[in-house]
Amino acid sequence: MSAGVRPEASAEKDLGVKCPPESRPQDPGDVRPSTKLWIATGIFLLVLGAYALTSPGRIDMIDGEVRFDVAYNWLVTGRPVLGDKWIGPLMGVPGKDGSLYSYYGAPGSVFGMPLVRLGVYLSARDIRPSQFLFSMTSPILGAAIAPILFLFYLQLGLTNRDAVLWTMVSSFATLLWPVSDSSFDNAQHGFFVLSALFFAHLSAKRKSWICALLGGLLAGILLLYQEYFLLIIPALALATLDWQLTDAQSLSANQTGSVSRRVLFHIGRTFRELGNLVRSAYGQEGDARASCLRFCLFLAAAGVGAGLSLVYNHLRFGAWLDDGKFRFVVLRHHPISGNPFVGLLTLLVSPGKGIFFYSPALILGLVGFRQLWRRKTALAAAIAVSALILLPFLSCFGFVGGDWCWGPRYLTPLLPLCALAFPFVSLRGPKRSPVLILITLGLFVQVLALSVDHQRFFLARGLDDFFWAEDPWFYFKHSALIARPGEAISLIQGVPSTAKVFNSIPIPNWATYPPLGPPLNVPRSLAPLWIRNFQIFYLPRPWPLWMSSVSPAVRPVDVRTWGLGLLSMTLIGLFLVFRGFRVRGTT
């Protein structure tokens, strides 16, 4: 190497990414805590303000109403019963005391309780403010992903500027945005998955068993949502291990053989390295034993969530292992299983539900994953194993798309994990344009997602409740994404003259309740005509827009007060981010 040329400069030229922190004079992950705090707080307020302003401002799905009703009754009566007279008989499962209970986990209701309480405080007689505020539960936790991702990027060696920019890409150019702006709880899953992985990574970097315990506790909360997250918790725990493939091993794999052969080499090498780590830990004290101890502490802490899940089961149904799901399936004759091959293709490449159609920016994660693997093998292995477990598992279900919904919402927990590889994509020379195109396209898709109520697509086609079971290949023939530009353009035409009321429920103009489908005496084939009676399907989805278009008596909150408040939050967040950059020495 010629004199005067830094080794890290050569590496940057070859890889097209910033050098790892150990090669730089200053580790961006170790900048002053006050600087990180200002920027992280600003990012949270900025993203939360944007998410809240673009949310529907109402409970947009029956699932959300179930969770709200449990939260409301838990606060008012002290019992997590399901008392809604419309959806209770449809979605409830008889419990040990004869009352109806939801088979959903507790966190989706518990984390919204403070918002429900605030709504009751604002208006004890009107339930609509409580429902409006409860609909902000997922926007809050979805926005909380952003500061965690920012701090994660700093730990990976990014500068503050790059960490902020890639955090914005993840927050606004992926499916994370519309999923956070819904009554589904998948964005909440994503927050706890990323947070658990973050503390697992910190435990390895700082050799901290406390961080391992914190990561495990956060991972355990996932079990309170859905038991199947037990499958990926050991995968997330891999990030607690302190091990790295050597450069010679990586180079030998990259220089010979086909792509499939190199992939198999990496997989085999990974398992051999893990085996060597375990054998070293068994033989003597040292870093290997400390790594395995952190791994075990992570899993043990996650067991706390498993225990609480069993307690919640017993509280509702009088049995530790009965969560009500299988009884609900039996009672409602709900189809479950599907073709795994069709399910996997649907999740990945179908125009109707393919994750790369709904989040084109994820392609950047695939491209950058190789460099992430070389630099942070344990972290990359945790991400890869989590995806390789979750994808095949979800593919086995008939309702692989999580309908009725926008996009493959069950894959949301993987989105912030894939975003960790975004910064390792080369931005030099002609490679910059494709990256910018993918980001712009992703942003455009998410804006489309927020424009119109997602149920319009399904009702306008007169689909049955279980259409996905009747035709597993449905999403290769139909696509809500392809139909969305036409639906968005139709908003210009305004509300049909036949639409006299806002919503489709028995109480006219109850704007915060989820729209229900046609009554039993209306054939589904007439649903395309039936929906023309309701404004909800023909008004813009973000709440400041549709609330401004309806009578003040229909509005659950004052549009101007809440709109200006959330806009101010967004501007304060932007100010805090820039203030963090103004701190001397911040890059």
- Distance from C-alpha of 570 to C-alpha of 564, rounded to nearest angstrom: 10
For 81, phi then psi, to 5°, come to -85, 165
* pLDDT tens digits, 127-150: 999 999 999 999 999 999 999 999
Place of tokens 């997989």: 267
The answer to whether residues 110 and 492 touch, using CB atoms and an 8 Å cutoff, is no
Amino acid at 526: L
- Distance from C-alpha of 317 to C-alpha of 82, rounded to nearest angstrom: 13
Place of tokens 């899953």: 189
The answer to whether residues 406 and 454 touch, using CB atoms and an 8 Å cutoff, is yes
- Report domain extents, the chain: 62-135, 186-402+413-433, 455-543
Amino acid at 572: I
**Number of helices and strands (H, E) in the chain?**
29, 2
Q: What share of the chain is helix, strand, coil (3-state, %, to 5)?
A: 65, 0, 30
- Distance from C-alpha of 32 to C-alpha of 116, rounded to nearest angstrom: 37
Does the pTM surpass 0.75? The reply is yes
The pLDDT of residue 288 is 76
Omega before residue 404 within 30° of 0, cis: yes
The answer to whether residues 160 and 387 touch, using CB atoms and an 8 Å cutoff, is no
The answer to whether residues 130 and 101 touch, using CB atoms and an 8 Å cutoff, is no
Cβ-proximal residues to 274 (8 Å cutoff; 6+ apart), any chain: 241, 243
The answer to whether residues 390 and 229 touch, using CB atoms and an 8 Å cutoff, is no
What length is written for the chain? Answer: 587
- Alpha carbon of residue 1 to chain centroid: 46
- Distance from C-alpha of 580 to C-alpha of 38, rounded to nearest angstrom: 5
The answer to whether residues 534 and 455 touch, using CB atoms and an 8 Å cutoff, is no
The answer to whether residues 42 and 574 touch, using CB atoms and an 8 Å cutoff, is yes
* pLDDT tens digits, 41-57: 999 999 999 999 999 99
Percent of the residues in the chain that have a pLDDT greater than 90, as a whole number:
76
For 297, phi then psi, to 5°, come to -65, -40
The pLDDT of residue 31 is 53
First to last CA, the chain: 29
Distances (CA, A) of 67 to 91, 129, 338, 401, 550: 11, 16, 27, 20, 27
Contacts 24+ apart (CB under 8 A), 28-32: 28/154, 28/157, 28/158, 28/159, 28/160, 28/163, 28/587, 29/154, 29/155, 29/156, 29/157, 31/154, 31/160, 31/585, 31/586, 32/583, 32/585
Q: What does pLDDT average to in each consecutive run of 10 residues of the chain (587 residues)?
A: 38 41 43 81 98 97 96 96 92 93 96 96 90 97 98 95 96 98 97 98 96 98 97 96 61 52 62 65 70 94 97 96 90 86 97 97 95 92 96 95 94 98 87 93 98 96 92 96 97 94 85 91 93 95 96 94 97 93 61
The pLDDT of residue 282 is 62
The pLDDT of residue 355 is 97
- Distance from C-alpha of 490 to C-alpha of 450, rounded to nearest angstrom: 14
Tokens of 561: 């007060």
Amino acid at 446: Q
